[in-house]
């Protein structure tokens, strides 16, 4: 079982395969995952009961102090990050002070490294909240997950702990008016006797039609690169195939990035 967890509020900078030199911020507990998804491919492992972990979330003021200390130290050493990234051990937008924390990070970014970008990696489930949406519209790199246009695939692929209607989710993504990046993970394999493959013609065609509606500024296509919690029954998709999918997206006039 995969248990790749970040053990502090601030981590890195690390070399991100999608973002460059990334200074990571984990708004979630350091010893467990905190997410409303239970993705079968998640490097953080399975999702435990998040209600029991609310008390372990870092306080807004602690995040501010940690980021201020880290950025001031990097400034003294002339080490500029390309991006300050909110990701960590689960879904960052579930933190109750997420909007305020984004405001804080913009202030600190402007103070120390005004050319650095601020990024958020989210599973898209909270974007119906006006405060979350407003916060995401303030960041430079707003990356939102969409692994499939089909409810049945999302149910297996992402195993949401809340009710998810993909059509409603897509409508919420359309509401960003292009100020977002769609992130999609492609994989194949088996899970509990069910064949997993979101690269079939039906999947790809429905996904492309959805992208045409959302019109994101960019699409990030990737596949599994670390151990997964389901026991090794999942397979990554070769980069050559990912590039074929990317070419179809680019025909729509949408910039596409591939990570193997």
Q: Where are the strands (E) in 63-217, listed by range?
A: 83-86, 117-122, 141-145, 181-191, 194-197
Confidence band of 224 (pLDDT split at 50, 70, 90): confident
Shortest CA distance to 149 belongs to which of 206, 228, 77?
Answer: 206
CA 23, chain centre distance (Å):
15
pLDDT, residue 16, reads: 76
- What are the structural domains of the chain? 10-259 (3.20.20.70)
Q: What is the pLDDT of residues 25-80, one digit of tens each?
A: 999 877 777 888 888 888 876 766 655 556 578 999 999 999 999 999 999 999 99
Average model confidence (pLDDT) across the chain: 90
**pLDDT score recorded for residue 234:** 87
d(CA 69, CA 89) in angstroms, rounded, equals 21
Cα dihedral value 229, 232, 234, 238, nearest 10:
120
pTM of the prediction?
0.92
Sheet strands (E) in 100-193: 117-122, 141-145, 181-191
When pLDDT is averaged across residues 206-224 and rounded to a whole number, the result is 97
Between 30 and 241, whose confidence is greater?
Answer: 241
């Amino acid at each position: 079982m995969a248990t790749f967890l970040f053990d502090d509020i601030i981590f890195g900078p690390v070399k991100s395969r999608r973002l460059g030199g990334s200074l990571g911020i984990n708004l979630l507990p350091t010893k467990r995952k905190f997410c409303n998804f239970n993705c079968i491919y998640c490097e953080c492992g399975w999702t435990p009961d998040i209600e029991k972990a609310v008390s372990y979330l870092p306080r807004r003021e602690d995040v501010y102090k940690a980021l201020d200390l880290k950025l001031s130290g990097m400034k003294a050493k002339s080490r500029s990050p390309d991006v300050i990234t909110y990701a960590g051990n689960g879904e960052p937008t579930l933190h109750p002070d997420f909007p305020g924390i984004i405001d804080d990070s913009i202030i600190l970014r402007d103070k120390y490294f005004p050319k650095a970008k601020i990024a958020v990696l989210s599973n898209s489930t909270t974007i119906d909240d006006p405060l979350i949406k407003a916060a995401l519209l303030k960041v430079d790199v707003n990356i939102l997950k969409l692994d499939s246009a089909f409810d049945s695939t999302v149910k297996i692929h992402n195993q949401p702990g809340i009710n998810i209607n993909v059509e409603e989710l897509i409508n919420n993504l359309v509401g960003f008016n292009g100020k977002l990046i769609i992130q999609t993970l492609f994989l194949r394999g088996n899970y509990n006797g069910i064949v997993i493959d979101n690269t079939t013609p039906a999947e790809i065609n429905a996904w492309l039609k959805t992208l045409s509606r959302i019109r994101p500024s960019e699409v990030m296509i990737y596949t599994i690169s670390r151990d997964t919690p389901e026991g090794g029954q999942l397979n990554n998709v070769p980069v050559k195939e990912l590039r074929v999918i990317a070419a179809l997206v680019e025909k729509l006039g949408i910039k596409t990035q591939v990570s193997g």
